[in-house]
Structure 1
Amino acid sequence: MTIPNLPSLWAMQPEALTALADTLNQGPDARGPGRSEEQQAPLYTVEDGLAVIPVQGAMSKHGLQFFGWRLLFSMREIAAALKEVAADTSVRAIMLDVDSPGGTVDGIEELALAVRTAAAAKPLYAWADGLMASAAYWMASGARRIAAPATAQVGSIGVISMHREFSKALEGAGVRYTILAAGHYKAAGNAVEPLSDEMRAYLQEGIDAVYELFLSAVEQGRGVSREKTLAMADGKIFIAGEALKAGLIDRICSREEFIKQIKQEWTMNLAELRAQHPELEQELRAELEKDRAPALENARAEGAKEEQARLIGLACAVLGDAAETLKTVVQSGVTVEQIRALQPLMQPAAKAGTAQPADPDPYRKDALDALGKAAAAPADVAPDQPAGDDFMALVNAKISEGKSKGQAMHEVARDNPEAHAVWLKNVQKESK
């Protein structure tokens, strides 16, 4: 019988790792810590908006099936479930339902990242349903809150590697192995020769490096200092009361109470939020204002455009043919001051012996033409610019091409700003 090769580095309770190795050595009739294919639970369930993801048993990156018996649960399947519930619009919050001694180092950082990503999308909690040890705690440390019943065991933060040596047994059986390798450390930790001090130190370096990653994950996930992290990460397993004092968990309660608390948190109203978490309310308001500012600015701009279009439409209905000149004035951005400077030009000659204009239509046309002439006037005009006669010559040329006077003046002012500026300055002088 071929026994599957186990990974070399584990974040797992030592006794659970030993039991797993013994199960594999005993063969297919052994019934260790696993489930048959028929007993496998779904990746998650959803009830009243809460997605519950079971994490039960030892874990490895891809899982391990042995003669139809699941000995290791797949970290990647758990990560896939996290990704799915994070995208599920019916899910309001996520709870990891954990009963696990840990698992392999390979794959746990990927799973921990999946937890942090899901927690950024939706509130994520973890429940220690009996045992939350080593890699299982590494994963759960990214949760918003961790709770456990009074009898639960939590902790065992550390990294372990199991080295088994069979040189004496092989010698007694008359079997002799010769290791052939290129690279001084290539055969470090092999099972057919004793482990030297040098090779032990080399393997310990790798274990220490992974342990540092574990500490960083707990430090970041629990929001505690390195000093406090080291106090809870010496490999000990804690009963729930001790785990609470050490800062490993946040609450001791029943599973039903914890789920009730989770649901209460996502239905908290504004008054409760303001009373219990004033700093969070301020942060949320600031974030909303930040997101709303561009939308308000766009709304104001759109409103201004709509109002301008409405006013132009009303003017068109009143002014008829002269509306084109008005459009030119509005679109050019002419200022109120410029229009006021031209007001004297907008008064037509009166009929002899009366105070009435000679002709209402010429009055309206002269006024609108004067506005059109002011449409693109610059704020400042240099005193040494050329005479403005050229401007009207260009305007007349445009009119001879069939353009209206307002349109002609707009195009010439746009293409010949200097001539237009001098012409406008002369008009303003004449009006004084």
Structure 2
Amino acid sequence: MAKKTQEKGQGSNRWLVVIIILVIMGFFSTMVAGIFALVLSADFDAAGANVAIIPIKGPIYGDADSGAFSSVTGSQDIIEQLDKAAENPSIKAIILEINSPGGSAVASEEIALKVASLNKTTVAWIREVGASGAYWIASATNHIVANRMSVTGSIGVISSYLEFAGFIERYNVTYQRLVAGERKDMGVPFRELPDDERAILQEKLNIIHGYFIDAVAENRGLDRAKVKNIADGSFFLGSEALGFGLVDELGGRNEAMAYIENTLNITAKAAVYQKKISFLEALAGIVSMQSFSVGEGIGKAVVEARPHSGVEMVA
């Protein structure tokens, strides 16, 4: 009886070992395939290309890392790719593939100004979302294509934070205020925001909002009063944005490519321009993706739900 039990246990262990080996093999095969796809695809796609597609995905920040596995966009990385495409004589046009809710007002304007300065045909291809700061960028292109259900517009600026003054008072925690300069701790979450400081912050938001309205009106060739009338922060579907003059055409990649072909009288062939990654970065990215899949995004959800502890102005 004991011998049968021992044999049964050994059989179960063998199956467990087999399963572990298969899981490890699957992990490494996926990792190797992903690395080779990342490293080799750029070279093959770029051969003979005359249109550069530059992805702008996720929130937009000034110093974010826009690597192949990143879910955010860094303005300096995008500007670097725009420069690269602009300096390539084979590239005749640039498509910004946008799927972003916006982000830092400064970072958004940095990219928009760069796009406006280019001497090549530029097209914004808005996918699911091209709103707020991302729309600011799109408005600087020569032509905007959006799906009829794309979320766009949202011409506004937001600044918010959680205030803990009542919470810390309840638990007998004291905020000791030491400043040299009366406004130095304006917006700190550990004390109530006085009306005069609220008015100052609102004034800053209004100024940035005005810059946003000016940029859209100038870039789109629209009357400023007309833009201001719809610049209450509301988002619009692509079909609605078309009626307001915020986009030029409903469609997707095919329509963006067709616009370039008709405008420049060329047969368009596209290549994706994005930040190059090293072998080690690719390896780290693949491992991160695998870990993320196993965890089903729980960690990311927790991080994104994290409250801000200070004033932040976002377009």
Which TM-score bucket, shorter chain as reference? 0.5 to 0.7
Cα distance between partner residues in 1 of 2:49 and 2:259: 13
Cα distance between partner residues in 2 of 1:40 and 1:75: 22
The 1:64–1:168 alpha-carbon spacing in structure 2 relative to 1, beyond 3 Å, is farther
Cα distance between partner residues in 1 of 2:135 and 2:239: 16
Q: Does 1:62 align with 2:63?
A: yes
1:381 maps to: none
Q: Give me the TM-score of the superposition, normalised by structure 2.
A: 0.67
2:207 maps to: 209
Deviation readout 1:158-196 (Å, 9 max, x if unpaired): 111012111222223332111211222211111001111
Cα distance between partner residues in 1 of 2:193 and 2:72: 28
Cα distance between partner residues in 2 of 1:186 and 1:131: 37
Q: CA deviation at 1:124?
A: 0.5
Larger Rg: 1
Query: Contact (CA 8 Å) 2:123, 2:256: kept in 1 or not?
Result: no
1:49 maps to: 50
1:98 maps to: 98
Q: Does 1:72 align with 2:111?
A: no
Q: Does the residue aligned with 1:174 lie in a helix, a strand or coil?
A: coil
Deviation readout 1:93-152 (Å, 9 max, x if unpaired): 00100000001123222221111112xx10011011111011101111111110111111
Query: Contact (CA 8 Å) 1:103, 1:135: kept in 2 or not?
Result: yes
1:107 maps to: 107
Report sequence identity in percent.
Answer: 34
Q: Give me the TM-score of the superposition, normalised by structure 1.
A: 0.49
Cα distance between partner residues in 1 of 2:221 and 2:79: 23
2:183 maps to: 185
Pick one of 127, 134, 142 that aligns with 2:140.
Answer: 142
2:22 maps to: none
Structure 1: 5+ residue runs without aligned partners? Answer: 1-37, 269-432
AA aligned opposite 1:252 = L
Cα distance between partner residues in 1 of 2:71 and 2:56: 13
Matches within 5 A, 1:395-410: none
Matches within 5 A, 1:252-291: 252-267=250-265
Aligned-residue CA RMSD (Å): 2.7
1:245 maps to: 243
The 1:71–1:251 alpha-carbon spacing in structure 2 relative to 1, beyond 3 Å, is closer
Structure 2: 5+ residue runs without aligned partners? Answer: 1-34, 267-315
Cα distance between partner residues in 2 of 1:194 and 1:70: 36
Query: Contact (CA 8 Å) 1:130, 1:149: kept in 2 or not?
Result: yes
Cα distance between partner residues in 2 of 1:220 and 1:140: 13
2:159 maps to: 161
After superposing the two structures, state which structure 1 stretch, 230-239 or 45-54, moved more: 45-54
Query: Contact (CA 8 Å) 2:146, 2:252: kept in 1 or not?
Result: yes
AA aligned opposite 1:62 = D
Q: Does the residue aligned with 2:106 lie in a helix, a strand or coil?
A: coil
AA aligned opposite 1:249 = V
Deviation readout 1:308-352 (Å, 9 max, x if unpaired): xxxxxxxxxxxxxxxxxxxxxxxxxxxxxxxxxxxxxxxxxxxxx
Query: Contact (CA 8 Å) 2:102, 2:108: kept in 1 or not?
Result: no
Which structure carries more relative contact order (alpha carbon 8 Å, separation 6+)? 2
Query: Contact (CA 8 Å) 2:65, 2:77: kept in 1 or not?
Result: no
Query: Contact (CA 8 Å) 1:232, 1:247: kept in 2 or not?
Result: no
Matches within 5 A, 1:247-396: 247-267=245-265
AA aligned opposite 1:242 = E
